[in-house]
Structure 1
Amino acid sequence: MRRTKEILTAVGTLACAVGIGFVMQSSDTAEQRYGAAEKQRPVASNGALLEVEGITLTSATLDSEIALPLPDAQVTKAAAPQGLPPAPESHGVAITAACDITADAQAVAAAMVKLALDAACLPNERLTVHHNGMIFTEVTDDKGRLNVTVPALAEEAVFILAFGNGDGAVAQTTVPELSDFNRVVLQWKGAAGFELHAREFGADYGDAGHVWSGAPRDMATAVLGEGGFMIRNGDTDVAEPLMAEIYSFPVAAAAQEGDVALSVEAEVSKSNCGLEIEAQALELRGTDQVKTQNLTLAVPDCDAVGNFLVLNNLLQDLKVAQN
């Protein structure tokens, strides 16, 4: 399904000041882009283009109010995008004597990692998962267990699973397939409304090559070299969760060559209208170090609810060469 309405470009000094493409689209345009399901989205009252100000890009780390385990508990916070904590000697390490907590990491297909946490003394408890600058919120089940699949961002992958009371565990595994993939992470806190979009090889919104949370594909697509896939980590059922969307493309097994257009988008909603919202982007290309940049965006007032803010050039498009 293709867009039929012209994209409007934001006015003022915003776009040229930060060097990124920034547009706002109406709810009618959103329906053309995302499909009939968007008919339920609220429509802006006037449909007029608003002047938007306040985008800031920095290299700072994403702030988190969730406490990490104490340093004397054998865990240190990993600086984004590098500076991982020392790798534990064993595959899974408990880091507190008061509560028997263990974690295990296992590399699986598509450079993904299966994490398993066992914390019987902490059922239904919020925790954060940290990995090479990526961070997201999860919750244990009623038996204190957690099983989650996470895209690796380092070949020697170290994961910190931290509870708010200082308890937690560390797990490590080797991910030899990581160099076969390019990865892009978009992470944020709460109901900011951010979305990561990838349009492969000239695909338009709604086409088969448009990959986003509404059409994420699965790991099999990448394993077969047919295209990329997206996964979202984080539990939206908790208050102010830390969320991460990760797009992975199998550059080593790509069946065709060309570009993958990447964009960051945010819907203007009742939860974010008139506020400043923040996100962080992590980009991993081949054997390069993870590139990190933060985004601070001033959302238009609430009469623009239902519109979308689109940042076309915040992320560098992927260049894919056929092997």
Structure 2
Amino acid sequence: MLSKQVVLTSAMTLACALGIGFFMQASSSRWAGEAAAAADPQLPPEPGPAELKIENITLTSRRAEPALSDAQPQSAPLAQPGACNVTAAAKAGPMAMVSLTVSAPCHGGERLTVHHSGMTFTAALDRSGHFAAQVPALTRTAVYIAETASGGGAVAVAEAPDAETVERVVLQWSGSSGLEIHAREFGAGYGSTGHVWHGAASGLSAGQVIRLGDASLLAPRIAEIYSVPSRQTGRSGTVSVTAEAEVTGQNCGRDISAQALQLSGGRLSSRDLVIAMPDCDAQGSFLVLNNLVEDLKIASN
């Protein structure tokens, strides 16, 4: 029996021989004629391959390969972490009025809802996602929650110590209710200087009314707030506050819901209202709700 070494050596020799034979067979056609001619000069040389004629040559330029940087698609820069975050800031000023700002860069034009101690109103972010307003504080530590229609939100807090020295009434509703808040200071009549509402000239009365919310939105939430210092220099008395609604084609013959919030002596209370509006033949008249809140008591310094 052959040893393993002999078998392995024979196999390797056979593989080499086969390789050499393949190489020799492939090369013999080229060199066989030359070898025969060298061995016997009388033999005519073996004819080589026929000459290949090349005609009608057209010269073209080689298309340049694009550079790697040009061939690869350009990727957009990645958004920085936090670039789309919704942020809010609040800073208190005199009369417990808070400067509220909201920034939502990726929510431009969206509906914004603001909540504060039971008061709610809706507005629209501008095209850059910004909103700013003067919002009355209803508590000493005023917490504001701002949320966008797509779910983003932020919280802002402001310390408003003046909230304990301000009398404040909020009337809020949803939709086109036609409601307004009216205050008559120290016995003033309608249309006089002490008659305060959102359409009155500012700076002529002891208090002021502001309206928050964008009425052009679908099903808007609107809030009107009357504010007056609880102490007046050299003057004291009462302020009567009423809720009034003009009868229109949008609210006639149906019930409208509203809510009243009152801040007095630093304490906040609320009251829900349901108002039955007159039939539509009463359009143009006004419905007055005199018992919205208790009269405000103003003391003299």
TM-score for both structures, normalised by structure 2:
0.71
- The yes-or-no answer on 1:293 pairing with 2:278 is no
C-alpha distance 318-268 of structure 1, shift in aligned 2 (>3 A): same
C-alpha distance 163-130 of structure 1, shift in aligned 2 (>3 A): same
Q: Aligned equivalents of 1:152 and 1:138: distance in 2?
A: 18
Tell me the amino acid that sits aligned with residue 109 of structure 1. P
Larger Rg: 2
RMSD: 1.6
Tell me the amino acid that sits aligned with residue 203 of structure 1. A
Match of 2:288 in 1: 310
Match of 1:227 in 2: 206
Which among 236, 246, 249 is matched to residue 257 of structure 1? 236
TM-score for both structures, normalised by structure 1:
0.66
Which among 130, 144, 149 is matched to residue 129 of structure 2? 144
C-alpha distance 157-216 of structure 1, shift in aligned 2 (>3 A): farther
Shift of 1:165: 2.4
Paired residues for 1:108-187 under 5 Å: 108-187=93-172
Tell me the amino acid that sits aligned with residue 243 of structure 1. I
Q: Comparing both chains, which one has the higher relative contact order based on Cα–Cα distances under 8 Å and sequence gaps of 6 or more? A: 1
Q: Aligned equivalents of 1:275 and 1:282: distance in 2?
A: 23
Paired residues for 1:189-268 under 5 Å: 189-215=174-200, 217-218=202-203, 227-268=206-247
Number of residues of Structure 1 aligned to a counterpart in Structure 2: 221
Equivalent pair of 1:227/1:254 in contact (CA under 8 Å):
no
Matched residues, percent identical?
Answer: 50
Equivalent pair of 2:171/2:223 in contact (CA under 8 Å):
yes
Q: Aligned equivalents of 1:151 and 1:216: distance in 2?
A: 19
Q: Aligned equivalents of 1:212 and 1:172: distance in 2?
A: 28
Q: Aligned equivalents of 2:116 and 2:273: distance in 1?
A: 20
Paired residues for 1:26-175 under 5 Å: 99-175=84-160
Match of 2:261 in 1: 282
Shift of 1:270: 0.8
Paired residues for 1:2-41 under 5 Å: none
C-alpha distance 102-297 of structure 1, shift in aligned 2 (>3 A): same
**Structure showing the higher helix proportion among its residues:** 2
Which segments of 5 or more consecutive residues in structure 1 lack a partner in the other structure? 1-95
Which segments of 5 or more consecutive residues in structure 2 lack a partner in the other structure? 1-80
